[in-house]
Structure 1
Amino acid sequence: MTSKEHSGGGSQLEELNGFTNPGLPEHKPRLADSDPRAEKVAERQVAAWFILSMIGTIWFIVAYFLFTPGESMQSIRLHNMFVGLGAAVAMFSIGFGAVLWAKNLMSDHEGIDERHDIGGSEEDQAIALEILHQAKEESGIARRPLIRNTLIAALAIAPLPAVLVFRDLGPLPGDKLFNTLWEKGTRLIRDPGGIPSVDSERPIKADEVTIGSAYHVLPSGIGDHEASDHPINEKAKAAVLLMRIDPKELKEDPDRKDWSHDGIVAYSKICTHVGCPVALYEHQTHHLLCPCHQSTFDVTEHCKVIFGPAKRPLPQLPITVDSEGYLVAQSDFPEPVGPTFWEINHP
């Protein structure tokens, strides 16, 4: 069926509903279709956007190494801002250049193609090849080497930022997650937020922890001059949630009864699913909730998983009190913190 026949059939159908098919609008040629100079300008504009995309990719790589994030939040923000700017420019410029190419240089004639039966005959294959050849001619990619070459170059280097990002994933942590900053006798301090300092440390006494309360805590000494060399991931790895519930509600294993103190328990803050921070405590139900994927842990039963995708309980930090009544760790975590999918093999 031709476009005219299709249009007539459509008119008959629409006239039944009281409407007349206006048909396709009259084609209006663009300036680039009739003026070779305008066509050349449009071609250079498209190429300029592709070149800008390459500059954005190169800037991403330069910023990745130039603005290495340190321990301060300011350095991390600068790193993220500059590499993000490079990635945004690289991706946006390719897209914008392609849009300009389509609007100003590719064929803009409207047409109607009827749906045909799917088949693999030689005739259909010949038609498909003809369509591809027609697309090549209409896009002008064969006779516009400047656009073609800059597009190929921009697309060729576009994956480089992804290579750098995936490179940062690094090797599996191995036995590193078996060791945190906790050790025997380390006092529990309230997490001051940001990078701790000696002046910001606030040790916690057992009698300060009331039933129903929850604290985000870190090991003492993390802010002194020796611990200041610890990277931020060491601080995150040692993060703990401290809670107190009625000792009668605890269902402790016999070999873990001395890991708590008068209903005060401490568990790793890192979800065992994908490592999100578990930070929501429901004191009435004694449930800990991970906000990322809703894994839920029961504090009364050693933080066993009662809902969600996590496959193992949160690691428990054994605690006690020292001679001054401050809460201290009995040891490091007896099991690795973090997600199970890391497949940690302890030597």
Structure 2
Amino acid sequence: MSTQDIPEENLPSEQVHAPAGTVTKPVADPFADPGLPPHEHRIQDIDERAAKRSERVVAFLFTVSMLATVGFIASYVGIPVDKNIYVFPIGHVSALNFALGLTLGVALFCIGAGAVHWARTLMSDVEMADERHAIEAEPEVRAKVLADFQQGAEESALGRRKLIRNTMFGALALVPLSGVVLLRDLGPLPGTKLRKTAWSAGKLLINQNTMQPLRPEDVQVGSLTFAMPEGMKEEDHDFQTEIAKAALMIVRLRPENIKDKRELDWSADGIVAFSKICTHVGCPISLYEQQTHHVLCPCHQSTFDLSDGGRVIFGPAGHALPQLRIKVNDKGYLEAMGDFAEPVGPAYWERG
């Protein structure tokens, strides 16, 4: 755009200048600091009855938190793990999980809500502005911080509002008990539970497929058979717990192929019985290599040699498969001569 297109009155030569010596009014700075608005007192600042009401509200919230924590502990101890309830609109849920989540949530919420209500209604709400300072504070600044802290402590009325103080300390003291109670799952020690299974002297070996007692002729060379102790039934309430320890796999080997002398002594006509539970993380073993007499765990490929005492030849398993000593009784059935000589499954701290 050229100067010819600009109106003459807008050209510099035609602009009106203020007379010399005239003082022009400065334009207001749009970015000036407006400062803090006037402080408005809350009703609790001027009415002690309102302050007392707020104090009771805060104390009530802290008390509810304490009761909820007690409810958490009572639910954890008293509600069975397998109990379910119907909760609309969720549906059927675990009663224990629902109670634990509800009580712990209420306990934590009430502590937070009580602290917020306390700060908004009873603590000092006077706004204070302070200039930024260097990272390394001067002695005067540190003294001022300590003085401000002491002033804040006094204005919080923690010493004067004893009801709030006591209930807050009670709530904060009880909430950590929720975590302490959860440590209950780490104990008590299992005692002999991991060392004993459903096997004992005289119990017949029952074929898990036919549910009939096993005879030596039922086990062919090169075959793999799964067995369980006599007297166990799938409809028993503790069947899954017991079979997880007592599950047995039976293989028939030629006596000349058995390398371990104790394994040969504990066998019956070349039939050897080993725990089916992998000694790594407890997976059930089900893969058998007929030519090598090896069994393979499908979870992490731990491999055991059933012709050499069930020892580990590959994989992360820590020790050999426990062997069950068996014999043929007077009626021609295979029966156990006792329990496993060592705990089945993964190694644990009491293993010798």
**So what's the TM-score if we normalise by structure 2?**
0.55
Equivalent residues in 2 for 1:136-285, closer than 5 Å: 136=153, 145-160=162-177, 166=183, 169-171=187-189, 173=191, 177-189=194-206, 203=213, 207=218, 215=226, 217-222=227-232, 235=242, 238-242=245-249, 244=251, 252-259=259-266, 265-267=273-275, 269=277, 271=279, 277-279=282-284, 281-283=286-288
Pairwise CA distance, 1:151:
3.1
What is the rounded CA distance, in whole Å, between the counterparts of 1:209 and 1:114 in structure 2?
88
What is the rounded CA distance, in whole Å, between the counterparts of 2:141 and 2:212 in structure 1?
77
What is the rounded CA distance, in whole Å, between the counterparts of 2:208 and 2:336 in structure 1?
16
Pairwise CA distance, 1:267:
1.1
What is the rounded CA distance, in whole Å, between the counterparts of 1:38 and 1:305 in structure 2?
78
CA contact (8 A) 2:295 2:305 kept: yes
Pairwise CA distance, 1:136:
4.8
What is the rounded CA distance, in whole Å, between the counterparts of 1:258 and 1:160 in structure 2?
55
CA contact (8 A) 2:219 2:225 kept: no
CA contact (8 A) 2:194 2:344 kept: yes
Residue 335 of structure 1 is matched in structure 2 by: 342
Pairwise CA distance, 1:332:
1.4
Instruction: Give the secondary-structure state (helix, strand or coil) at the position aligned to 2:297.
Output: strand
Evaluate the alpha carbon distance shift between residue 335 and residue 100 of structure 1 in structure 2; reply closer, same or farther with a 3 A threshold. same
What is the rounded CA distance, in whole Å, between the counterparts of 1:214 and 1:134 in structure 2?
80
Pairwise CA distance, 1:335:
2.1
Q: Does 1:316 align with 2:323?
A: yes
What is the rounded CA distance, in whole Å, between the counterparts of 2:208 and 2:348 in structure 1?
28
What is the rounded CA distance, in whole Å, between the counterparts of 2:171 and 2:105 in structure 1?
12
Residue 304 of structure 2 is matched in structure 1 by: 298
Q: Does 1:94 align with 2:103?
A: no
What is the rounded CA distance, in whole Å, between the counterparts of 1:306 and 1:131 in structure 2?
68
Tell me which structure has the larger Cα radius of gyration: 2
Pairwise CA distance, 1:333:
0.9
Instruction: Give the secondary-structure state (helix, strand or coil) at the position aligned to 1:286.
Output: strand
Evaluate the alpha carbon distance shift between residue 269 and residue 56 of structure 1 in structure 2; reply closer, same or farther with a 3 A threshold. farther
- In the alignment, structure 2 segments of 5+ residues that lack a partner are 1-30, 85-92
Equivalent residues in 2 for 1:66-77, closer than 5 Å: 66=78, 76-77=81-82
CA contact (8 A) 1:49 1:97 kept: yes
What is the rounded CA distance, in whole Å, between the counterparts of 1:104 and 1:92 in structure 2?
18
Residue 4 of structure 1 is matched in structure 2 by: none
CA contact (8 A) 2:204 2:229 kept: yes
Instruction: Give the secondary-structure state (helix, strand or coil) at the position aligned to 1:152.
Output: helix
The one-letter amino acid paired with 1:77 is D
User: Between Structure 1 and Structure 2, which shows a larger proportion of helix residues?
Assistant: 1
Pairwise CA distance, 1:288:
2.3
What is the rounded CA distance, in whole Å, between the counterparts of 1:191 and 1:85 in structure 2?
38
State, as a whole percentage, how many aligned pairs show the same letter: 27
CA contact (8 A) 2:278 2:285 kept: no
Pairwise CA distance, 1:342:
3.2
CA contact (8 A) 1:189 1:202 kept: yes
Instruction: Give the secondary-structure state (helix, strand or coil) at the position aligned to 1:328.
Output: strand
CA contact (8 A) 2:202 2:338 kept: yes
1:57 to 66, 69, 77: 69
The one-letter amino acid paired with 1:304 is V
Q: Can you list the C-alpha shifts for 1:254-303, whole angstroms capped at 9, x where unaligned?
A: 3213545667642163746xxx542354556732266xxx6945354515
Evaluate the alpha carbon distance shift between residue 95 and residue 179 of structure 1 in structure 2; reply closer, same or farther with a 3 A threshold. closer
CA contact (8 A) 1:218 1:238 kept: no
Pairwise CA distance, 1:319:
3.8
Residue 288 of structure 1 is matched in structure 2 by: 297
The one-letter amino acid paired with 2:312 is K
Evaluate the alpha carbon distance shift between residue 129 and residue 181 of structure 1 in structure 2; reply closer, same or farther with a 3 A threshold. farther
**So what's the TM-score if we normalise by structure 1?**
0.56
Q: Can you list the C-alpha shifts for 1:192-242, whole angstroms capped at 9, x where unaligned?
A: 9xxxxxxx9654566478968674x54212459xxx8x9789826742242
Pairwise CA distance, 1:180:
3.5
Q: Which has the higher contact order (CA 8 A, sep 6+)?
A: 1
